[in-house]
């Protein structure tokens, strides 16, 4: 059975809770790769009773973290997860099995897993167990977080981030070349967060000769 696509007429609560799940997913940045960053929120009677995210590579997935964090029985609850729950045994057991065992009533998924090992099978497994599954809530926002993972499993290549700083008039440095930074403090913090999550940094020989940059991740 094909996954039911989003009709974009969700309860505002669906958007709010999925936005929270995606925000939680970002907390795994730099710690879970090459796994995807995933967040999960569990709601019962329109109140969050548990939330979690994938914290580290090889560790429990977001759904398990959220189930363990529940302050009430999740039976009959709605689960919001930014990526389709896994249905296979890897470093951890299938999240679909845990959700079925918890007797949740509904699972709302932002994005399907592009990994051929999963790709729709998690959704079908939940539906077969009688759980209502909806997909596509804030899919675009989730896809942005999942881009490095999706690039690896779909295209079999690294996810590349192109970064440069320039002034409003298109300059990269002052005329003398003595400017240390032309970017602001906020953008420099962002650069260090990006460095912390990547496996390699490539710069041109001109940058090395002129600046001899450390290329380290500081303050993260």
Q: Helix, strand, or coil here: 216?
A: coil
Phi first, then psi, for residue 137 (nearest 5°) are -70, 120
Q: In angstroms, rounded to a whole number, what is the distance separating the alpha carbons of residues 64 and 41?
A: 11
Q: What are phi and psi of 173, to 5 degrees?
A: -160, 170
Of the candidates 127, 67, 75, 68, the residue with the CA atom closest to the CA atom of residue 105: 75
Quote the CA–CA distance of 109 and 133 in Å, as a whole number: 7
**Residue entry with tokens 């560790």:** 59
Closest by Cα among 183, 161, 168, 148 to 57? 148
Does residue 123 contact residue 135 with C-beta atoms inside 8 Å? yes
Based on the residue annotation, tell me whether 63 is a catalytic residue of this protein. yes
Residue from 29, 33, 51, 63 carrying the catalytic annotation: 63
Cβ atoms within 10 A of the Cβ of 103, count? 14
Residue 97 CB neighbours (<10 A): 15
Q: Which residues in the chain belong to E strands, given as ranges?
A: 39-44, 47-53, 78-83, 106-111, 132-135
Active site residues: 63
């Amino acid at each position: 059975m094909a996954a039911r696509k989003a009709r974009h007429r969700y309860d505002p609560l669906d958007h709010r809770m999925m936005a929270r799940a995606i925000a939680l997913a970002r907390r795994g940045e730099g710690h879970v790769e090459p796994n995807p960053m995933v967040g999960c929120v569990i709601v019962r009677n329109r109140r969050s009773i548990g939330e979690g995210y994938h914290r580290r590579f090889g560790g429990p997935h977001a759904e398990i973290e959220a189930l363990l964090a529940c302050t009430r029985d999740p039976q009959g609850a709605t689960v919001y997860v930014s990526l389709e729950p896994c249905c296979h045994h890897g470093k951890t057991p299938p999240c679909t099995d845990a959700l079925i065992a918890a007797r949740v009533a509904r699972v709302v998924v932002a994005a399907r897993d592009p990994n051929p090992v999963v790709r729709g099978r998690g959704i079908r497994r939940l539906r077969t167990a009688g759980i209502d599954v909806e997909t596509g809530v804030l899919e675009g926002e989730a896809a942005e977080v999942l881009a490095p993972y999706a690039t690896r499993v779909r295209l079999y290549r690294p996810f590349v981030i192109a970064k440069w700083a320039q002034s409003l008039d298109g300059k990269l440095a002052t005329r003398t070349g003595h400017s240390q930074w032309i970017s602001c403090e906020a953008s420099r913090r962002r650069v260090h967060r990006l460095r912390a999550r990547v496996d390699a940094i490539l710069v041109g020989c001109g940058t090395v000769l002129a600046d001899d940059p450390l290329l380290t991740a500081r303050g993260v």
